[in-house]
Amino acid sequence: MDKSENKHIYYFFHDVVNYLTPFMASFTFLEKAHLGEVDHSKKDFYLNLGKRSLNDLNNLCHMYRLLLIDDYRLNKEEVFLDEMIENTLDTLSYSFDVERINISNLLPLDFKVIADKTLLTQCFLNILKNAIEHQKNCEKKSIEISYEFQKICISNPIDKSNDEATRRGIGMELMRDAFKRLGFNMNYIKSDSQFRVVISTAELKLDN
């Protein structure tokens, strides 16, 4: 197995937990509902959550299988970022307390990009997850998403007590590779008080 194949396997295991967590939340609730330990009123919600998580996991497995054999073809379409970010936060809500996360979305109304939705979703999922994890000692986590000078910027304050080099590890490499495949450029800027991911591409488009 060559280095590129190893890389995709590492990336897969890095990403798969994002969908296993909500699936396990669904499975645990349904098991307790079956035993009569919880109220059945949320049964449909958790059943739909489990189905969606399995569908997302299936898409992830399919994507990485094709990446491993170098046969992944981008399916470019219009992706509305508001909707994608909302769905991403919903996925992360089973790993983090979303009530303690403040997302300041400053993107223009109906902002969209032309991209492969599956691959772009993985990128944003990892960016937002990293931003949350690196504020773990903050009572309220803050993330700002904006559009400046033809670039999407995702910023969060730096929690200096948890400011380690892991941010530049596998997650950042995964995103850099994925954005490159999409035709996007991704860089990050770090100051004493802020960490910012900057995404730019000639294919960024606004909905006029």
- Residue 52: predicted pLDDT: 79
Q: How confident is the model at residue 93 (pLDDT cuts 50, 70, 90)?
A: confident
Among the residue ranges 32-36, 124-128, 129-133, 198-202, the one predicted with the least confidence is 198-202
Q: In what order do the strands lie in the sheet with 112-116?
A: 76-80, 112-116, 204-205
C-alpha to C-alpha distance for 190 and 175, rounded to whole angstroms: 17
Among the residue ranges 2-6, 90-94, 169-173, the one predicted with the least confidence is 2-6
CB 64 within 8 A of CB 8: yes
Taking 90 as the threshold, does the pLDDT of residue 80 lie above it?
A: yes
pLDDT over 70 percentage in the chain: 78
Other C-beta atoms within 10 Å of 40: how many?
Answer: 10
- Residue 108: predicted pLDDT: 87
- Residue 166: predicted pLDDT: 45
More confident call, 137 vs 82: 82
CB 27 within 8 A of CB 50: yes
Q: Please state the three-class secondary structure of the chain as a single string.
A: CCHHHHHHHHHHHHHHHHHHHHHHHHHHHHHHHHCCCCCHHHHHHHHHHHHHHHHHHHHHHHHHHHHHCCCCCCCEEEEEHHHHHHHHHHHHCCCCCHHHEEEEECCCCCCEEEEEHHHHHHHHHHHHHHHHHCCCCCCCEEEEEEEECCEEEEEEECCHHHCCHHHHCHHHHHHHHHHHHHCCEEEEEECCCEEEEEEECCCEECCC
* 65-to-8, 115, 173, 182 alpha-carbon distances in Å: 9, 20, 19, 17
Residue recorded with tokens 């060559």? 2
What does the pLDDT average to over 147-171? 69
Question: Average model confidence (pLDDT) for the chain?
Answer: 78
pLDDT digits over 34-50, tens only?
Answer: 888 888 788 888 888 88
What are the residue ranges spanned by the domains of the chain? 3-68, 76-205
More confident call, 183 vs 164: 183
Instruction: Determine whether domain 76-205 maps to CATH 3.40.720.10.
Output: no
Look up the pTM and report it: 0.69
What does the pLDDT average to over 58-80? 76
